[in-house]
Amino acid sequence: MNIRELILDMLLQMEAAGTYSNLLIRNVLDKYDYLEGKEKAFLKRVTEGTVERRIQLDYVLDHYSKVPVKKMKPLIRCLLRMSVYQLLFMDGIPDAAVCNEAVKLAGKRKFGQLKGFVNGVLRSIARNKEQMEKIYPDRKQEPLEYLSVVYSMPEYLVSMWLGEYGPERTERMLQAMLAVHPVTVRLRQDSGGTGAGSGVPSGTDSLLQRIRKAGTEVQPHPYLDYAYCLTHLEGIRHVPGFEEGLFTVQDVSSMLAVECAGIRQGDFVLDICAAPGGKGTHAAERLCGTGRVLCRDVSAEKTALIRENVERLGLENVETEVYDGRAYDQALHEKADVVLADLPCSGLGILGKKRDIKYNVTPESLQELPKLQKELLETAWRYVKPNGALIYTTCTIHREENEEICRWFLENHPFEAESIDGFLKKVPEKATAKDGYLQLLPGIHETDGFFIARFVRKGQ
């Protein structure tokens, strides 16, 4: 199996069919599970890195190639991108090996007439890679273009964040989006209670020992006692304890949303956009076998993901239903103690994990998403009991989908914002928590970019 050829085919499929890289990589690794760990790691890193750094790679290629990237044949374009990524960001691979393998692949894929072109471009870049900063836009004179190229982020997004967060925070966020991210897991909680840091699972030490013995590094997360960061793992299903339901993959930002819900034993919790089930199963664990959680999502495919997690975790107080959150269900009118509303959003807070999002989001789509969020909230609030809570969350760092939605909601519905400060004792930089919401930022907080707001329905 030629790993580089496999990577090339994956990049071509992404370009032609718009397949998301995280899904394609997962499927390919499952298909070729017999590959050695080093080969899997190489495939994953080069594929993800090539997608993630595309803007920067194209800028470099346009500087050294007489043929603009946009006019190249798709195979040659993808081949050069993945090769330049190796030259610039993978010091352990000899430059000569990168160039030679690319030339061989061009010939093997019937582009023998372009072998000289491929070789010339790559060797020019290899000779000049130590001085690559000289070709980038000037940081002082062209700060917007500089940040866009160096951090491979579309200019309109950089411009938006500069206006909302300022230059220092924006660059810290951009740096964090390119950083290597560990897999964050939530250990199954055997006890309940509310407030950050409660519910430490029993048997934690023995489970962590098993995971470490298998070669995976484990570090506790600073915000929650039952959250851990895993590195050096080939796949989550191979980690001891996963198939037994002793933990599940979930970012800490999502765990904090459930903490802020203040769930109590006996509550009825409704999760209206629940897939893949992280918050819904977390809520069920907080109920300690009492009450119930109803997880809904719009398709059978999504609810199947929820059921898979529910069954693996061995939870008996969770129901799943296919249901469009925009359609009102009279049977649930004012029945829920807590409604979890993690609504569809632009996903700009998770660009470090889903690298394709930045190329697919458009200024137009950013204008349309708040309309869908409002439509879903217009239905969801009616399910909340008087004095019950609605937890509004998104995985974005876009104010029109976050703070502006909060302002609109409170102005037009019988709810008030309630402080979440008491639920976030270990989270730094929580200045707005007393106002009932928190914007978590990559590079500022040790989580994904995520927004959490707590609304309480006024009593009758």
- Catalytically active residues are 395
d(CA 199, CA 183) in angstroms, rounded, equals: 21
d(CA 59, CA 52) in angstroms, rounded, equals: 13
Our separate counts of H helices and E strands in the chain read 16, 12
Residues 436, 454 contacting (CB under 8 angstroms): yes
Nearest CA to 393 out of 359, 349, 331 is that of 349
Give me the phi and psi of 450, to 5 degrees please.
-155, 150
Strand partners for 294: 270, 319
Q: What is the DSSP string of 390-411?
A: EEEEES---GGGTHHHHHHHHH
The enclosing H or E element of 27 equals helix 21-31
Length of the chain: 460
Sign of CA dihedral 28, 29, 31, 36: positive
| DSSP strand pairing (415-417 vs 318-322) | unpaired
CA 439 from centre of chain: 15
Show Cβ contacts of residue 10 under 8 Å, excluding neighbours closer than 6 positions. Answer: 21, 24, 25, 28, 47
* Neighbour tally for 125: CB within 10 Å: 24
Nearest CA to 436 out of 451, 415, 417, 409 is that of 417
Sign of CA dihedral 160, 165, 167, 170: negative
Q: Please confirm whether the linkage preceding 276 is cis (ω < 30° from 0).
A: yes
* Neighbour tally for 77: CB within 10 Å: 22
Nearest CA to 204 out of 194, 218, 184 is that of 218
Instruction: Look up residue 34 and give its two tokens.
Output: 């017999």
The enclosing H or E element of 185 equals strand 183-187
Give me the phi and psi of 388, to 5 degrees please.
-80, 175
The alpha carbon torsion through 452, 375, 334, 310 (nearest 10 deg) reads -60
